[in-house]
A and B are shown apart, each in its own frame.
Chain A
Amino acid sequence: MQSQWAKILAVVAAVLALAVVVPFTSSFVILLVTRALAFSILVMSLDILLGFTGLASLGQAAYLGIGAYVTAVLATKYQFGLGYDFWLVVLFGILAGAVLAAFFGLFAVRATGVYFLMITLALGQCVWGLAYRWNSLTGGDNGINLSARPKFGIDLSHDVTFFYLVLGFFALSLLAMYVMVRSPFGASLLGIRERELRMRILGYNTWLHKYIAFVIAGAFGGLAGVLWAHTAGIVSPENVVLTTSVDALLMAVLGGAGTLVGGVIGCFIVFGMREYLSTLVPWWQYVLGAVYVLTILYLPMGMMGIPERIRQGRASGRPNAKKLAVVPS
């Protein structure tokens, strides 16, 4: 319990440090951090599935995409969501993600392991196909440009203001997801991850648990999409493509699946490399690829597993040791 509070304090301190420090950095860094924060909501939503329920999804970008496209279409076609009604758009984005996940979940949730991976890939590709080809609605390959960010009392086109908004949403999402995974519901998800059959024998409706987790993850994905649309200023099939889903999955694993915060760390590492390192050296993608490969080979618990590895001295790195420690008794 003691260490749990220490971790919470560390995370709160990190969020506060971001809030204090980032506005004094360059506009490049402010935008970079904003993008990473928005995307890390998606990565955390994936972690609910991957780390806490044991379902590796290869289609999480679909929810980012639907949230982003809802925002962009409403803004450009109906001039909706550019004032106080922005909050309605946030709601719509969350609902759109949840509804899409509720629909996709009917197909996906009964699958397990590799089959879940494949079916989420197929479902994600459905959304990508529509985004890419449905020119009249989505603008096809060119995507949709958002000319302005919402303005309601505060002006979100001001990067620092917008950064605080995204940071606020990020902190709320992290808190909400943390409360969820620590709740009895979250505990039963962990049980499903560890041994689904046993949970079923104990009388749990494991399908329903997984389904609800899937829908919640979709809802947070939708929220990430709304924020992403206004962060990037453009929504295109690029946001829904397979590689974006893969990115989210790699970020979660890089930071450490089943920790929520790990996904955020992974997200910041990847965004940092992709947008900062790439300005310094042309071979940055080798570094990124090598980091992925080495993490998967030698750090099954990701970056969050490093302290554990060090503590155990010459430990074998079996993931079970950590997993068991997370399950509340």
Chain B
Amino acid sequence: MAASVPGSVTSMNTNFWLIQAFNGISYGALLFLLGSGLSLIFGVMRIVNLSHGSYFLLGGYVALSVIWTTGSWALALPVAALAIAVLGLCMERVFLRPLGFDPLRQVLLTVGFAFLFQQAALDIWSGNNFDINPPELLTRSVVVGGIYLPLYRVFMIATALTIGLVLWLVMEKTRMGAAVRATVDDAQMARGIGIDTSRISMLVFALGAFLAALGGVIGGAFLGVYPGLDFEILPLAFAVVIIGGMGSLGGAAIGALLVGLADNFGKALFPEISYFTLYAPMAVILAVKPTGLFGRE
């Protein structure tokens, strides 16, 4: 981003661009956690999962409960993610799977659940706004080239990179990953050659819920955890998936980065139309290439 700034501007101006870019990238890291799962779910099952935002929010809430009872943030991360993964797994097994292939009914079913989760969260955790406080170590800043970078955002980027790398390795190098990719490309053919697509769907759905909840815990530190967050974050997740291409992991990474940057620079540069600058390209991309930038036909 700095390259686009003329050389004559002050260092403060350069700093502005650098900081915004850094914020955008770290926000993109969070969106990757949320969007990669949604993308895989869509790729494998062709389900538009409108309860994905709920997984994000519930992840944050479960983490809060863990922190309140044990005081451990590090424990909250895996516990919340696993709990929501189990929830997603149950939803897929008990409700979505028996529905068969009917996109509209599946979508509506996930919305119905999103409403149920919303009410449940309200009853269990009340309607207050909470923040998830990370350990003291992560609240510090590091100075790189005269710019203060909050360590927490560095942590977010590192987490997303690690998870992205692990996912990529699993998808590309293992038999399981090959089966998932085959299911994305052509589920019927994959079934034909003996891949258990039902089991793949179940695992991918649980994985998606796991990642979304993890994102919810990590994002809880600066987005907060509050009622309504589920449907606020959901369209962003869709923007990631649509721009990147459905069912593509690399696409989700690039989509997340683009959405993170677009969101940050949009809000900083032209606040009045910032969401428009985010969603309009999304609509145009969909119109031109319905499977997204990196999606396969």
Whole-angstrom CA separation of A59 from B158 in the bound complex: 36
Interface residue? B239 (CB, 8 A): yes
Find out whether the CB atom of B231 lies under 8 angstroms from the CB atom of A111. no
Contact A117 B48, CB 8 Å, known A292-B112, A297-B95, A297-B99: yes
Interface residue? B284 (CB, 8 A): yes
B107 CB to closest chain A CB (Å) equals 7
**Which stretch, B168-176, B205-213, B271-279, touches the partner chain A?**
B271-279
Contact of A113 among B95, B103, B284 (CB under 8 A): B103
The residue among B107, B111, B280 with the most chain A CB atoms within 10 A of its own CB is B111
Contact A111 B286, CB 8 Å, known A56-B107, A125-B235, A242-B231: yes
On chain A, the residues within 8 Å of B116 by CB distance are 285-286, 289-290, 293
Interface residue? A31 (CB, 8 A): no
The residue of chain A having its C-beta at the shortest distance from the C-beta of B278 within the complex is A129
| Chain B contact patch, size range | 35 or more
Interface residue? A7 (CB, 8 A): no
Find out whether the CB atom of B109 lies under 8 angstroms from the CB atom of A293. yes
Whole-angstrom CA separation of A250 from B239 in the bound complex: 22
Interface residues of A in 247-274 (CB under 8 A from B): 249-250, 253
On chain B, the residues within 8 Å of A132 by CB distance are 275
On chain B, the residues within 8 Å of A300 by CB distance are 105
The number of chain A residues with a CB under 8 A from chain B is: 45
**Which stretch, A33-41, A133-141, A207-215, A305-313, touches the partner chain B?**
A133-141
The residue of chain B having its C-beta at the shortest distance from the C-beta of A123 within the complex is B283
On chain A, the residues within 8 Å of B46 by CB distance are 114
Interface residue? B108 (CB, 8 A): yes
On chain A, the residues within 8 Å of B120 by CB distance are 286
Interface residue? A84 (CB, 8 A): no
On chain B, the residues within 8 Å of A106 by CB distance are 287
Find out whether the CB atom of A110 lies under 8 angstroms from the CB atom of B242. no
B40 CB to closest chain A CB (Å) equals 15
The residue of chain A having its C-beta at the shortest distance from the C-beta of B236 within the complex is A125
The residue of chain B having its C-beta at the shortest distance from the C-beta of A288 within the complex is B115
Interface residue? B290 (CB, 8 A): yes
Interface residue? A216 (CB, 8 A): no
Interface residue? B64 (CB, 8 A): no
The residue of chain B having its C-beta at the shortest distance from the C-beta of A286 within the complex is B119
Contact of A292 among B48, B111, B272 (CB under 8 A): B111
The residue of chain A having its C-beta at the shortest distance from the C-beta of B42 within the complex is A114
Interface string of A103-125 (1 = CB under 8 A from B): 00011101101110111011101
Find out whether the CB atom of A128 lies under 8 angstroms from the CB atom of B48. no
The residue of chain A having its C-beta at the shortest distance from the C-beta of B291 within the complex is A115
Contact A128 B115, CB 8 Å, known A111-B286, A241-B231, A249-B108: no
Contact of B108 among A108, A110, A130, A296 (CB under 8 A): A296
Whole-angstrom CA separation of A300 from B106 in the bound complex: 11
Find out whether the CB atom of A242 lies under 8 angstroms from the CB atom of B234. yes
Interface residue? A243 (CB, 8 A): yes
Interface residue? A197 (CB, 8 A): no
Contact of A293 among B112, B122, B235, B273 (CB under 8 A): B112
Whole-angstrom CA separation of A288 from B117 in the bound complex: 12
Interface residue? A283 (CB, 8 A): yes
B117 CB to closest chain A CB (Å) equals 8
Interface residue? B248 (CB, 8 A): no
Whole-angstrom CA separation of A166 from B178 in the bound complex: 58
Contact A134 B107, CB 8 Å, known A114-B46, A289-B119: no
Contact of A129 among B119, B231, B275, B286 (CB under 8 A): B275
Whole-angstrom CA separation of A243 from B232 in the bound complex: 10
Whole-angstrom CA separation of A148 from B89 in the bound complex: 51
Contact of A117 among B105, B107, B282, B287 (CB under 8 A): B107
Find out whether the CB atom of A292 lies under 8 angstroms from the CB atom of B108. yes
Whole-angstrom CA separation of A288 from B286 in the bound complex: 33
Whole-angstrom CA separation of A300 from B116 in the bound complex: 20
On chain A, the residues within 8 Å of B282 by CB distance are 122, 125
A75 CB to closest chain B CB (Å) equals 22
Find out whether the CB atom of B112 lies under 8 angstroms from the CB atom of A121. no
Find out whether the CB atom of B274 lies under 8 angstroms from the CB atom of A129. yes
On chain A, the residues within 8 Å of B42 by CB distance are 114
Interface residue? A154 (CB, 8 A): no
On chain B, the residues within 8 Å of A292 by CB distance are 108-109, 111-112, 115
Find out whether the CB atom of B119 lies under 8 angstroms from the CB atom of A293. no
The residue of chain A having its C-beta at the shortest distance from the C-beta of B120 within the complex is A286
Find out whether the CB atom of B108 lies under 8 angstroms from the CB atom of A114. no
Interface residue? A126 (CB, 8 A): yes
Interface residue? A246 (CB, 8 A): yes
B296 CB to closest chain A CB (Å) equals 14
**30 A-B pairs with C-beta separation under 8 A:** A107-B283, A111-B286, A113-B103, A119-B283, A122-B239, A122-B286, A125-B275, A125-B279, A126-B276, A126-B283, A128-B275, A130-B276, A132-B275, A133-B272, A133-B275, A133-B276, A134-B272, A134-B273, A246-B50, A250-B111, A253-B104, A283-B123, A285-B119, A286-B120, A289-B112, A289-B113, A289-B119, A292-B108, A292-B112, A296-B105
Known: A115-B286, A134-B272. 5 other contacts (CB 8 A): A122-B242, A125-B282, A246-B111, A293-B109, A293-B113
The 9 closest A-B pairs by CB, nearest first: A129-B275, A292-B112, A289-B116, A285-B119, A107-B287, A293-B112, A122-B283, A125-B279, A289-B115
